[in-house]
Amino acid sequence: MVDPAALPRTPAFVLEYDAFLNNLGLIRGIQDRSPCSFLFALKGFAMHRVFPELASAVRGATASSLFELRLADEFFNEVHAYAPVYIPGDFPEIARRSTHVTFNSLTEYERYRRDLSGASPGLRINPEYSTVETDLYNPCIPGSRLGVQAADVKQLPAGIQGLHSHNLCESSAGDLSATLDQIECLYGHLLEEITWINLGGGHLVTRKGYDIALFERRIAAFHEAYPHLDIILEPGAAYVWETGVLIAEVLDIVNSSGIRIAMLDTSFAAHMPDCLEMPYTPRIRGAHSADTIGGDEESGIRYRMGGATCLAGDVAGDYLFPRELKVGDRIVFEDMMHYTMVKTNMFNGIALPEIGIWRENQGYELAASFSYHDYRGRLS
Looking up residue 91, the CATH number of its domain turns out to be 3.20.20.10
Beta carbons of 336 and 45 less than 8 angstroms apart: no
Same domain, 68 and 174: yes
- Cα–Cα distance for residue pair 276/325, rounded to 1 Å: 24
Can you tell me the mean pLDDT for 186-191?
97
Same domain, 277 and 254: yes
Query: Rounded to the nearest 5°, which phi and psi values hold at 47?
Result: -80, 90
Q: Which of 240, 272, 302 finishes a domain? A: 240
What per-residue confidence (pLDDT) applies to 317? 85
Beta carbons of 76 and 60 less than 8 angstroms apart: yes
Q: Which of 222, 240, 258 finishes a domain? A: 240
Q: Which residues are registered as beta bridge partners of 198?
A: 164, 232
Q: How many CA atoms lie within 13 A of 121 on its CB side?
A: 20
Residue 298 scores a pLDDT above 80: no
- Cα–Cα distance for residue pair 282/303, rounded to 1 Å: 14
Return the amino acid letter for 257: S
pLDDT band of residue 291 (cuts 50, 70, 90) is: confident
Can you tell me the mean pLDDT for 333-362?
97
- Cα–Cα distance for residue pair 252/98, rounded to 1 Å: 49
Residue 293 scores a pLDDT above 60: no
Can you tell me the mean pLDDT for 277-299?
80
| 21 within domain boundaries | no
Beta carbons of 70 and 100 less than 8 angstroms apart: no
Same domain, 332 and 365: yes
pLDDT band of residue 254 (cuts 50, 70, 90) is: very high
**What mean pLDDT is reported for the chain?**
96
What per-residue confidence (pLDDT) applies to 292? 66
What per-residue confidence (pLDDT) applies to 244? 98
The structure's pTM equals 0.94
Beta carbons of 161 and 85 less than 8 angstroms apart: no
| 204 within domain boundaries | yes
Same domain, 111 and 141: yes
| 27 within domain boundaries | no
- Cα–Cα distance for residue pair 229/236, rounded to 1 Å: 22
Residue 297 scores a pLDDT above 60: no
pLDDT band of residue 325 (cuts 50, 70, 90) is: very high
Range(s) of the domain holding residue 303: 4-14+244-336+344-377
Question: Would you tell me how many other CB atoms lie within 10 Å of the CB of residue 282?
Answer: 20
What per-residue confidence (pLDDT) applies to 295? 46
Give the residue among 3, 76, 9, 6 at the shortest CA–CA distance from 249: 9
Structurally, the chain folds into a number of domains equal to: 2
| 291 within domain boundaries | yes
Question: Would you tell me how many other CB atoms lie within 10 Å of the CB of residue 209?
Answer: 7
- Cα–Cα distance for residue pair 282/319, rounded to 1 Å: 10
Q: How many CA atoms lie within 13 A of 321 on its CB side?
A: 19
Q: Which of 240, 267, 290 finishes a domain? A: 240
| 69 within domain boundaries | yes
Same domain, 358 and 262: yes
Can you tell me the mean pLDDT for 168-173?
94
| 70 within domain boundaries | yes
Same domain, 223 and 75: yes
| 19 within domain boundaries | no
Same domain, 194 and 261: no
DSSP tally for the chain: helices H, then strands E: 11, 17
- Cα–Cα distance for residue pair 259/307, rounded to 1 Å: 15
Same domain, 221 and 365: no
Residue 182 scores a pLDDT above 80: yes
* CATH number of the domain residue 295 falls in: 2.40.37.10
The model's pLDDT over 80-125, given as tens digits with 9 standing for 90+, comes to 999 999 999 999 999 999 999 999 999 999 999 999 999 999 999 9
| 29 within domain boundaries | no
Query: Rounded to the nearest 5°, which phi and psi values hold at 16?
Result: -90, 100
Same domain, 322 and 356: yes
Same domain, 87 and 209: yes
Same domain, 252 and 138: no
- The number of residues making up the chain comes to 380
What per-residue confidence (pLDDT) applies to 27? 97
3-state secondary structure of 25: helix
Beta carbons of 331 and 268 less than 8 angstroms apart: no
CA angle 182, 185, 191 (to 5 degrees): 100
Beta strand 37-41 with 196-198 is unpaired
Kindly state the percentage of the chain with pLDDT values over 70: 98
The model's pLDDT over 19-74, given as tens digits with 9 standing for 90+, comes to 999 999 999 999 999 999 999 999 999 999 999 999 999 999 999 999 999 999 99
Same domain, 327 and 292: yes
The model's pLDDT over 198-221, given as tens digits with 9 standing for 90+, comes to 999 999 999 999 999 999 999 999
- Cα–Cα distance for residue pair 336/26, rounded to 1 Å: 20
